Amino acid sequence: MRMAQTLERSLQRAHSQFTLVEHAPSATSLESARKAGIAASRMAKSVILDDRRGHYLMAVLPANRQLDLSKVRKGPWRWQLSSEQSLVGLFKDCERGAVPALGEVYGLPMLIDPMLARQQDIYLEAGDHENLLHMQVDEFFRLAPNAEVCELCH
């Protein structure tokens, strides 16, 4: 697999400018950054949250940072980390643990940490464990027009 079909279709529809970067197989976004030889601060990792009532939210932060759940305030919901099993249903065309950090493509609202917004370009999982999507940060935000930028890390 090279790229999740949902992601690929969205990129094509939007006439997005990006490159696909191959790397040795990896299990985490942080490991993907290391194997691809890029700064972890430029690698966008997605953390999926749910409210136990069927609402989901994608938090996007640099791979070298940890999510601070107390900083996630969106609507009246109380967010928790989603189970791996629920992610399989949400991201059917992605390998487990390789969710692209473009939730809006999958119908999920997004929160993005400002550390990523300050980068010129970023990398994100392409839906498998051997490819990253590389694009200018302006292009990334064009694909996530409703995303909210807010502090998400410790």
Q: Which CATH superfamily is domain 5-149 in?
A: YbaK/aminoacyl-tRNA synthetase-associated domain (3.90.960.10)
User: Model confidence over 41-67: pLDDT tens digits?
Assistant: 999 999 999 998 889 999 999 999 999
Per-residue pLDDT at 6? 96
pLDDT at 4: 95
Lookup result for tokens 């990398």: 123
* Cβ neighbours of 69 (radius 10 Å): 15
> What's the pLDDT score for residue 75?
64
56 phi/psi in degrees, rounded to 5: -125, 155
In terms of phi and psi (left: phi > 0; alpha: psi -120 to 50; beta: otherwise), the region of 37 is: left
Phi and psi angles of residue 86, each rounded to the nearest 5 degrees, phi first = -70, -30
Residue 115 three-state SS: helix
* pLDDT value for 88: 87
Please give the backbone phi and psi of residue 138, each rounded to the nearest 5 degrees, phi first: -65, -40
Cα 15 to Cα 7, 57, 75, 140, distances in angstroms: 12, 26, 32, 12
Query: pTM of the entire structure?
Result: 0.94
Low-confidence ranges of the chain (pLDDT < 50): none
